[in-house]
């Protein structure tokens, strides 16, 4: 089954063709990051406009790269949330039109389910059940994936997402947007114990996380140093931030595995590209006898292929949309 999948939830416009949920025939992506970098973050209105400009050409490119023509497409899939509402609406409306024009089913896909499914593309043997650590620019959560379309959130951030934390601290350090990768480069060779940053304890559900205290502490360190004219160990700070974020995530993922008895963990989302987090996850999983899947960096960020993968399983579960499909800024997994 060939699924033509679209994604426009943030600042990447993407179209891909995926066969039977596992085989990527094409994966066309146009990132707007450079456009937003001058503003230090994504400007929703600009994102929407750029998606409108790009999406038709990307659909053609996805088909051409796959060596297919329109009649070869069996279904059309699209991210319908969560994300920036104006941005989401572009691909939702395009996909609805495409499904109607082709006379093929429409499959709505949750963005984070797509991030998790990126692992199906990289690891043919991977099947639920497993735990997923979903860490992106807008979300941070530990999800129990009991089946391809059967998911329960075990813990989630109470405030900022891990990626947002990297991005905001990067901004006060004068690094370009998005700040996760530049922070990782700055952290290289830095002392992760240089600055003592808080590790949150969350009342109620201790698998929930919090990043806003950590973010504020790091931002205050930068501002205080500037006010006092003190020189900051920028590399040490970046390394300390990565260590603190990783400490927020990795032990909770291990605890979630202990409680559920799951023995497989996958990482998902843009922040899963982070070297510190990947290394810490590898060590912790080795120590706890957990099989770990880390998606290749190319599949960590937003892309259309991951949506096409999850769409196949949504289709098998009978989760179809129609011309009344809407987009949702907030959407339960
Ligand atoms: P997503 O929301 O899944 O598209 O992921 C985007 C987020 O991932 C942004 O907040 C980026 O700063 C972050 N990110 C990308 N690469 C890295 C990295 N190497 N380390 C930390 N964060 C990263
Ligand atoms: Mg994303």
Write the pLDDT tens digit of every residue in 213-227: 999 999 999 999 999
Residue 40 has pLDDT above 90, yes or no: no
pLDDT in tens, 149-200: 999 999 999 999 999 999 999 999 999 989 999 999 999 999 999 999 999 9
Q: Which of 260, 264, 285, 281 is nearest to 272 (CA)?
A: 281
pLDDT in tens, 273-301: 999 999 999 999 999 999 999 999 999 99
Q: Could you tell me the pLDDT band of residue 230, with boundaries at 50, 70 and 90?
A: very high
41: DSSP letter = S
pLDDT in tens, 13-31: 999 999 999 999 999 999 9
Question: Mean pLDDT throughout 308-323?
Answer: 98
Structure token digits, residue 243: 């260590």
Question: Mean pLDDT throughout 87-93?
Answer: 98
32 CB neighbour count, 10 Å cutoff: 21
Question: Mean pLDDT throughout 113-141?
Answer: 96
226 CA to middle of ligand 2, Å? Answer: 33
Pocket of ligand 1 (CB under 6 A): 136-138, 163, 166-167, 178-181, 184, 269-271, 273-274, 301-302
pLDDT of 158: 96
Structure token digits, residue 276: 């510190």
Atom of ligand 1 nearest to the CA of 270: 5
Residue 96 has pLDDT above 90, yes or no: yes
Question: Mean pLDDT throughout 264-271?
Answer: 97
Q: What is the mean pLDDT of the chain?
A: 96
Question: Mean pLDDT throughout 289-314?
Answer: 97
Distance CA 167, CA 181 (A): 9
Residue 138 has pLDDT above 90, yes or no: no
Q: Which of 29, 8, 151 is nearest to 78 (CA)?
A: 8
316 CA to middle of ligand 1, Å? Answer: 31
| Ligand closest in space to the Cα of 42 | 1
Residue 34 has pLDDT above 90, yes or no: no
Q: Are 330 and 110 in contact (CB under 8 A)?
A: no
233 CA to middle of ligand 2, Å? Answer: 31
Distance CA 265, CA 281 (A): 9
Q: Whose CA is nearest to atom 5 of ligand 1?
A: 270
Structure token digits, residue 182: 């530049």
Residue 42 has pLDDT above 90, yes or no: no
Measure Cα distances from 321 to 55, 96, 105, 181 in Å. 20, 9, 8, 36
3-state SS class at 15:
strand
Measure Cα distances from 187 to 71, 165, 168, 280 in Å. 49, 15, 15, 15
Q: Which of 214, 202, 218 is nearest to 155 (CA)?
A: 202
Residue 87 has pLDDT above 90, yes or no: yes
pLDDT of 39: 86
Structure token digits, residue 328: 């949702």
Q: Are 219 and 168 in contact (CB under 8 A)?
A: yes
Question: Mean pLDDT throughout 255-267?
Answer: 98
Question: Mean pLDDT throughout 38-56?
Answer: 92
| Ligand closest in space to the Cα of 135 | 1
Omega within 30 of 0 (cis) for the link into 275: no
Q: Could you tell me the pLDDT band of residue 33, with boundaries at 50, 70 and 90?
A: confident
Q: Could you tell me the pLDDT band of residue 55, with boundaries at 50, 70 and 90?
A: very high
Q: Are 122 and 303 in contact (CB under 8 A)?
A: no
In the numeric block, the tokens 């039977």 are attached to 20
């Amino acid at each position: 089954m060939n699924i033509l999948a679209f994604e426009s939830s943030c600042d990447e416009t993407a179209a891909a063709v995926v066969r039977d949920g596992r085989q990527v025939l094409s994966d066309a992506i146009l990132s707007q990051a450079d456009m937003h970098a001058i503003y230090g973050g994504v400007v929703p209105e600009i994102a929407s406009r750029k998606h409108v400009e790009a999406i038709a050409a990307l659909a053609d490119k996805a088909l051409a790269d796959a060596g297919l023509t329109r009649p070869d497409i069996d279904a059309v899939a699209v991210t319908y949330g969560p994300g920036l509402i104006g941005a989401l609406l572009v691909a939702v409306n395009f996909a609805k039109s495409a499904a109607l024009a082709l006379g093929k089913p429409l499959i709505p896909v949750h963005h984070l389910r797509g991030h998790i499914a990126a692992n199906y593309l990289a690891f043919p043997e991977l099947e639920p059940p497993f735990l997923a650590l979903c860490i992106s620019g807008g979300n941070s959560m530990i999800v129990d994936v009991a089946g391809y379309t059967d998911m329960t959130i075990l813990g989630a951030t109470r405030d900022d997402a891990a990626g947002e934390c990297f991005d905001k601290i990067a901004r006060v350090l004068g690094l370009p947007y998005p700040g996760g990768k530049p922070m990782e480069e700055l952290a290289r060779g830095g002392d992760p114990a240089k600055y003592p940053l808080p590790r949150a304890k969350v009342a109620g559900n201790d698998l929930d996380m919090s990043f806003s205290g950590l973010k504020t502490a790091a931002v205050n360190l930068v501002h205080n140093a500037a006010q006092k004219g003190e020189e900051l160990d920028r590399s040490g700070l970046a390394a300390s931030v990565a260590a603190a974020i990783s400490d927020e995530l990795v032990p909770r993922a291990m605890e979630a595995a202990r409680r559920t008895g799951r023995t497989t963990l996958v990482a998902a989302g843009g922040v899963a590209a982070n070297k510190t987090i990947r290394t810490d996850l590898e060590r912790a999983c080795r120590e706890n006898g957990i099989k770990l899947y880390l998606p290749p960096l190319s599949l960590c960020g937003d892309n259309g292929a991951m949506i096409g993968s999850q769409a196949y399983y949504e289709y098998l579960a009978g989760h179809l949309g129609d011309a009344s499909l809407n987009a949702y800024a907030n959407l339960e997994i």
